[in-house]
């Protein structure tokens, strides 16, 4: 079965670009079962199948095309989506009005410098540093041009070729873009075989697991020329797509990430109009690479614009081009630009800088000879749809009455250190623990950090959720004026914090000038806080630097209704039995006495434990010892002998109460290694007799032991065995 490689370029045309890959491509790191690109003796191969250089134009003429069955369906829909896991096609109706929120870029290597993700009056369209602009505000009659028929070509160099090689794509912002390898399985009318046809394109990231690209990179008619001509206009979704972030020639620092689901808008599904699409990734690679901020409905004639992506003739290397916006088409969808592009760059981001902040405003989709290039503008619908991946699908409200707190400010250690469970009628389960925080006067949850004689001048309420939280909207205010409450940024602090290992990281300053916390509790301000990555644990915390001689409560900050956005799929849920991450309990003088297995089981009773060593059948020299099945068998024997429970569990399944999740990986024929899930949703491990850490081999926080870096360095734990749940409460 022969494969064929093409490059994706224009709105209505899919064109081939010569794909060159260095003969040293064996150095590339690949994850999962990603297609492997190689060059052997001047020929190109994908997964060992020869990729012929084909120079055939595949023309998607959709002028008389429609899907009458779908159009006549009474059910309203505006998005077509393909699920690659079960190979099903679905049609959904997306309500954009629930997702009109702004979103900034997130650079995972420099998160402290990412733009603040707080806004007041989040539905307003005239806020400072606006992202989602009014639909009609960006285009005037001076900007509108007539439509024209044009011949699309694969390469457009307008004037001199000003494209620049990106020497290090694995740096911000370039690492938030990558190359696509798209596969169609098609009938060869000459041989009768089912052939693989491969295409290349570009995509970029707009959320933890959200890839954005051109629609024709996901969906098109590839059977209307040569040996594959079927004389039918039948565009369809690709059979398989992989994304390679920050590809640099023959080097793929993150490997290939499989596309789990693709989405295109109704206009493109029916008539190949509005050439954009997006994909849900099988792994949240964006937590390692970062993702871009975006702006909707932006256009300004002669405004500077930049793009970067993967030209088909450049051997897998990334190139950038800078130009200007020259026109805006009267269909309200497409920009014209003078950017230099060629086949393979379809799906590249259009980026503009506004008031010092850089946003993606559109997607590269086409070129017209050497006259102009262009792409689709991100409109309000696209903006909202992209946001729906970031904000999660479920929203729950927590009211002050839901906590069942007394009208008091407790200071006892039990209340401070012990979680209390809350189950709401809306289906939300969460846990809290607190200090100097109560339900005061039947009005608000109130923190008070100031009073004579209290053990410490602090107050806090900590939240722990079973599902990851992507955003909160919360009503906040002082109890009374600052002069009455005393607490201000000059003598203390009040912050929203997220769990960071054993400590906390500040996310949002309640006392800053920008926040402008209101002093009238009858009229609180609603604040929206987006988390850079989904979190399971956060807290409100305040501290007073002085000493009070007044026997009454001060420094009071009110927490009212809080809406919580929960990630609704592809996450590893918690149940409250997970252990807190406390590396200091392990990283001491006795650290070398314990290993990853002991840490996974949270025990120091049996030293440097080896699976199966408790049993007489133990044989570490068995050739099958370092296999998943044998290690599992030995752990079960340890459970019987040491009195703990251990059983397999699905990645996205919740553990039984009293159990927590662990994961097993193997370096083939060399070693095994264990991870365990923390109560904040991250994972930690203890490499041999060294220190406990919650970082992977590349220094990134571990959110998923299956997709984290385990292969950099030695040994390479390349085999992921599985997830398990363990209960060690009765261990002897």
Given this model, what pLDDT does residue 147 score? 21
Rounded to the nearest integer, the mean pLDDT of the chain is 81
Q: Give per-residue burial for 350-377: e unless 16+ CB within 10 Å, then b.
A: bbbeeeeebbbbbbbbbbbeeebbbbbb
- For the ranges 118-127, 537-546, 550-559, 605-614, the lowest mean pLDDT is seen at 118-127
Given this model, what pLDDT does residue 125 score? 22
Given this model, what pLDDT does residue 329 score? 77
Torsion of CA 471, 466, 256, 384, to 10 degrees: -30
Given this model, what pLDDT does residue 13 score? 32
- What is d(CA 464, CA 191) in angstroms, rounded to the nearest whole number? 60
Q: With cut-offs at 50, 70 and 90, classify the pLDDT of residue 54.
A: very low
> What are the φ and ψ backbone dihedral angles of 20, each rounded to 5 degrees?
-105, 135
- What is d(CA 314, CA 555) in angstroms, rounded to the nearest whole number? 61
- For the ranges 455-464, 563-572, 620-629, 711-720, the lowest mean pLDDT is seen at 563-572
User: In whole angstroms, what separates CA 419 from the centre of its chain?
Assistant: 29
Q: Which H/E stretch holds residue 597?
A: helix 596-600
Given this model, what pLDDT does residue 100 score? 31
Given this model, what pLDDT does residue 63 score? 32
Given this model, what pLDDT does residue 373 score? 85
Given this model, what pLDDT does residue 502 score? 86
At a CB cut-off of 8 Å and minimum separation 6, what does 305 contact? 322, 323, 324, 325, 335, 337, 339, 350, 351, 352, 361
Across 361-368, average pLDDT: 88
Tell me: pLDDT of 724 over 60.
Answer: yes
pLDDT tens profile 395-428: 789 999 999 999 999 999 999 999 999 998 888 8
- For the ranges 29-33, 306-310, 389-393, the lowest mean pLDDT is seen at 29-33
Please give the angle made by the CA atoms of 244, 15 and 270, to the nearest 5 degrees: 90
Tell me: pLDDT of 104 over 90.
Answer: no
Q: With cut-offs at 50, 70 and 90, classify the pLDDT of residue 439.
A: very high
Given this model, what pLDDT does residue 429 score? 92
Which residues are bridge partners to 530 per DSSP?
471
> What are the φ and ψ backbone dihedral angles of 402, each rounded to 5 degrees?
-75, -15
Given this model, what pLDDT does residue 249 score? 92
At a CB cut-off of 8 Å and minimum separation 6, what does 146 contact? 330
Q: With cut-offs at 50, 70 and 90, classify the pLDDT of residue 606.
A: very high
- What is d(CA 265, CA 288) in angstroms, rounded to the nearest whole number? 28
State the Rg of the chain over Cα.
28
Q: With cut-offs at 50, 70 and 90, classify the pLDDT of residue 494.
A: very high
CB 531 within 8 Å of CB 484: no
Closest C-alpha to 599, from 614, 620, 588, 585: 585
Given this model, what pLDDT does residue 97 score? 53
Given this model, what pLDDT does residue 39 score? 43
CB 502 within 8 Å of CB 455: no
End-to-end Cα spacing for the chain: 58
Tell me: pLDDT of 344 over 50.
Answer: yes
Torsion of CA 450, 453, 457, 460, to 10 degrees: -80
Tell me: pLDDT of 677 over 90.
Answer: yes
- For the ranges 59-73, 204-218, 288-302, the lowest mean pLDDT is seen at 59-73
pLDDT tens profile 107-154: 444 433 322 222 222 222 222 222 222 222 222 222 212 222 222 335
Q: With cut-offs at 50, 70 and 90, classify the pLDDT of residue 391.
A: low
Given this model, what pLDDT does residue 242 score? 95
Given this model, what pLDDT does residue 233 score? 85
Given this model, what pLDDT does residue 616 score? 93
Residue 190: CB atoms within 10 Å? 8
Given this model, what pLDDT does residue 532 score? 77
Q: With cut-offs at 50, 70 and 90, classify the pLDDT of residue 155.
A: low
Specify the higher pLDDT residue, 64 or 576.
576
Q: With cut-offs at 50, 70 and 90, classify the pLDDT of residue 330.
A: low
Given this model, what pLDDT does residue 95 score? 66
Across 274-283, average pLDDT: 93
Tokens of 572: 């590893």
Tell me: pLDDT of 267 over 60.
Answer: yes
Given this model, what pLDDT does residue 43 score? 41
Q: With cut-offs at 50, 70 and 90, classify the pLDDT of residue 364.
A: very high
Q: How far is CA 574 from CA 569, 578, 647, in A?
A: 13, 7, 17
Q: Give per-residue burial for 254-280: e unless 16+ CB within 10 Å, then b.
A: bbbbbbbbbbbbbebbbebbbbbbbbb
Given this model, what pLDDT does residue 142 score? 23
Across 687-695, average pLDDT: 96
- For the ranges 243-252, 565-574, 667-676, the lowest mean pLDDT is seen at 565-574
Tokens of 655: 């553990």
> What are the φ and ψ backbone dihedral angles of 314, each rounded to 5 degrees?
-105, 20
Tokens of 564: 């919580």
DSSP, residue by residue, 495-515: EEEEEETTEEEEEEETTSTTT
CB 176 within 8 Å of CB 291: yes
pLDDT tens profile 616-662: 999 988 888 999 999 999 999 999 999 999 999 998 888 999 999 99
Q: Which residue reads 């205010």 in tokens?
A: 477
Q: Which residue reads 């990412």 in tokens?
A: 114
Given this model, what pLDDT does residue 517 score? 95
Q: With cut-offs at 50, 70 and 90, classify the pLDDT of residue 70.
A: very low
What strands lie across the sheet with 719-727, from one edge to the other? 645-648, 719-727, 660-667, 671-677, 683-684
CB 503 within 8 Å of CB 584: no
- What is d(CA 520, CA 481) in angstroms, rounded to the nearest whole number? 7
Given this model, what pLDDT does residue 348 score? 95
Q: With cut-offs at 50, 70 and 90, classify the pLDDT of residue 66.
A: very low
Share of the chain above pLDDT 70, in %: 80
At a CB cut-off of 8 Å and minimum separation 6, what does 390 contact? 103, 206, 207, 208, 210, 470, 471, 530
DSSP, residue by residue, 439-483: EETTTEEEEEEE-TT-SSSEEEEEEEEEEEEEEEEEEEEESS-HH
Q: With cut-offs at 50, 70 and 90, classify the pLDDT of residue 483.
A: very high
Given this model, what pLDDT does residue 706 score? 92
3-state secondary structure string, 295-311? CECCCCCCCEEEEEECC
Q: With cut-offs at 50, 70 and 90, classify the pLDDT of residue 35.
A: low
Torsion of CA 108, 349, 389, 652, to 10 degrees: -60
Across 667-680, average pLDDT: 95
């Amino acid at each position: 079965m022969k494969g064929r490689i093409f490059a994706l370029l224009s709105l209505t045309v899919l064109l081939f670009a010569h794909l060159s890959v260095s003969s040293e491509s064996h150095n590339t790191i690949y994850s999962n079962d990603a297609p492997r690109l190689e060059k052997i003796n001047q020929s190109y191969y994908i997964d060992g199948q020869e990729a012929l250089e084909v120079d055939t134009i595949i023309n998607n003429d959709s002028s008389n095309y429609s899907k009458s069955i779908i159009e006549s369906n009474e059910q309203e829909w505006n998005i077509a989506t393909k699920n690659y896991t079960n190979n099903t096609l679905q049609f959904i109706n997306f309500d954009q009005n629930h997702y009109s929120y702004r979103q900034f870029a997130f650079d995972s290597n420099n998160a402290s410098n990412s733009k603040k993700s707080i806004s007041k009056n989040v539905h307003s369209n005239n806020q400072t540093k606006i992202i989602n602009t009014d639909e009609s505000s960006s285009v005037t009659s001076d900007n509108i041009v007539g439509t024209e028929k044009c011949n699309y070509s694969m390469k457009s160099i307008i004037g001199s070729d000003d494209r620049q090689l990106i020497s290090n794509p694995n740096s911000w912002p370039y690492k938030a873009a990558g190359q696509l390898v798209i596969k169609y399985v098609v009938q060869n009318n000459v041989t009768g075989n089912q052939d693989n046809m491969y295409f290349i394109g570009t995509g970029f990231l707009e959320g933890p697991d959200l890839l954005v690209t051109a629609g024709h990179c996901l969906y098109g008619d590839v059977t209307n020329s040569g040996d594959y001509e079927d004389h039918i206009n039948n565009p369809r979704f690709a059979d398989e797509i992989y994304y390679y972030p920050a590809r640099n020639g023959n080097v793929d620092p993150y490997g290939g990430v499989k596309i789990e689901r693709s989405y295109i808008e109704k206009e493109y599904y029916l008539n190949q109009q509005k050439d954009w699409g997006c994909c849900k990734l099988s792994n949240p690679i964006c937590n390692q690479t970062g993702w871009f901020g975006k702006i909707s409905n932006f256009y300004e004639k002669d405004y500077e614009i930049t793009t970067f992506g993967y030209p088909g003739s450049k051997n897998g290397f990334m190139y950038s081009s800078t130009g200007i916006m020259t026109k805006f088409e009267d269909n309200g969808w497409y920009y014209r630009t003078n950017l230099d592009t060629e086949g393979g760059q379809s799906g590249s981001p259009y980026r503009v800088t506004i008031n010092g902040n850089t946003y993606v405003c559109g997607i590269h989709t086409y070129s017209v000879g050497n006259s102009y290039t262009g792409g689709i503008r991100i409109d309000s619908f696209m903006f909202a749809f992209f946001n729906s991946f970031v904000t999660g699908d479920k929203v729950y409200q927590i009211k002050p009455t839901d906590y069942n707190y007394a009208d008091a400010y407790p200071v006892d250690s039990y209340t401070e250190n012990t979680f209390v469970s809350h189950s709401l009628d809306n289906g939300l389960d969460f846990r809290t623990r607190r200090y100097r925080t109560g339900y005061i006067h039947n009005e608000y949850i109130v923190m008070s950090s100031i009073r004579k004689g209290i053990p410490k001048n602090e107050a806090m309420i900590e939240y722990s959720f079973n599902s990851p939280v992507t955003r909160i909207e919360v009503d906040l205010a002082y109890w009374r004026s600052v002069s009455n409450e005393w607490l201000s940024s000059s003598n203390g602090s009040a912050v929203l914090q997220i769990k960071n290992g054993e400590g906390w990281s500040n996310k949002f300053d309640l006392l800053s000038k920008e926040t402008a916390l209101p002093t009238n509790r009858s009229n609180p301000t609603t604040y929206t806080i987006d988390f850079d990555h989904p979190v399971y644990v956060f807290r409100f915390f305040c501290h007073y630097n002085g000493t009070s001689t007044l026997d009454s409560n001060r420094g009071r900050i009110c927490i009212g209704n809080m809406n919580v956005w929960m990630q609704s799929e592809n996450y590893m849920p918690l149940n409250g039995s997970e252990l807190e991450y406390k590396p200091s309990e392990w990283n001491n003088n006795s650290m070398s006495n314990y290993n990853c297995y002991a840490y996974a089981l949270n025990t120091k009773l049996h030293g440097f434990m080896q699976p199966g060593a408790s049993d007489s059948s133990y044989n570490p020299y068995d050739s099958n010892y370092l296999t998943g099945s044998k290690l599992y068998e030995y752990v079960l024997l340890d459970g019987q002998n040491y009195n703990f429970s251990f059983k397999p569990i699905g990645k996205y399944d919740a553990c039984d109460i009293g159990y927590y999740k662990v994961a097993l990986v193997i370096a083939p024929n060399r070693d095994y290694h264990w991870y365990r899930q923390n109560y904040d949703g991250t994972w930690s491990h203890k490499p041999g007799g060294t220190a406990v850490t919650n970082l992977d081999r590349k220094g990134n926080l571990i959110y998923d032991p299956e997709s984290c870096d385990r292969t950099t360095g030695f040994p390479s734990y390349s085999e992921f065995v599985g997830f398990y749940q363990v209960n060690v409460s009765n261990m002897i």
